[in-house]
Structure 1
């Protein structure tokens, strides 16, 4: 009889059995999600710090094309990675996700990074609305109250100053709306498609959408620092996406949403400390309403 060898670390979070390392789900879920949120924060900072000669279309094309190239290099040798289930919906999801990213980058480039990310995290409200439209899910009174409070938080963050950042605020809200639609569509796709296929269609459609504007006014990195920033944006976004997808294997959907909302905390700290973002009562009060009610909506959904 072959003896089994099992070792456990001091915390009990990581164990090894017969040479196979496993992680406790209570440790793995938060680890993957918080790591993804931190990497998304780094990506946002890199986008914010890029030279002004890089437009939204340039940034989008580099991110999408670079992500597609890496995925094809990693998984393409095993067969046709574009072979998926429900191709039309994969294409639609790719387009909606691309619009969300382009709108979010526009907002981040215009607004203080902390404000842009907080408004973007209103997407649970739009996800609930699209779920009611597409899947006929009922929206209860508690969810309606949360949605109204989230919209109140958005109204607080909007100063409605036509001479200021209204366009950037509207783009952040548009990004949240399309992100909510994208999250809703993924529910139908993930049943028969792996995360790599879904993400590849996202990158491919994004590259197709941004390519015409990129060709119209091409820009290439001129210094080693610019190359590092562009590849940093590509790698952090790809790694964060894969970590987030893996994290959902270890925690429930609403828990993952709560952990991912920590991106707003990381981004706000980075924006205030390093980028000198302005802070006021509008930011703190509006952020508390949006994040608090977004977390509550995820929890209420898990109770259904």
Structure 2
């Protein structure tokens, strides 16, 4: 017994310590849960009014489009409507024009988002690493294209490339292979899509760079320093430290920009009006409803466009697997 006494005291102390830790863990969990609920309520208080206004403004047009898509309805005879159920959807989905427009829309969306993500990340890195005295000037210069109205930007790009309007691009870049003074950029699908995509990239890349810049600000600097001390190369720091910690910001940037690019209308309408195989879904819905006065078919196209946007949003959120609610941490 005399030899067991020295071991009994540490054992008893360890038991008491374990009990104290066990008793404090539920309290921490309860406190964290209470804080989470409090932050959730605060979020709804702040965003709730704007959310309700947005729902009130958008819910009626959506429901009206769904309702009109179930009828054979022409704009010239609004009182002569005939219920046809899903026949309008059958007509749209069986038409090759719809699938061609969908393909063009997806192509523009994929290319613009991919290029903007790369260029926007580069600009965000420049702004993030820039000297403090130059950060304000650089951010202002980068944001200039995004501050221009889309219609104005589209007209500027159109007149720059259109040879019938005195476009100057051919004379400036005739030293490049394949470019001469007689090149008509809007005469073929490939070159027309190039101009449309280039104008989109120039206009909206600053938006991507701003979102990614906010993500860069959340990357812990001590993790970068630790990786460099361990001998990691700049590429390893980028792929192993910076990008994983920016996952939420990248997801938000891709989601917002993809949904906006999928609904492209202004640039295509101004530059080609859908000619040369450049018609997108938004323009097809407009031409069907306003050009052909087929409100029922146009509404069906609009509803299908809305469904595609919802699918893209769900796929993006599920694909990135980012918990935006918990991305801010528990502290």
TM-score by length of 2: 0.25
Higher relative contact order (CA 8 A, sep 6+): 1
TM-score by length of 1: 0.27
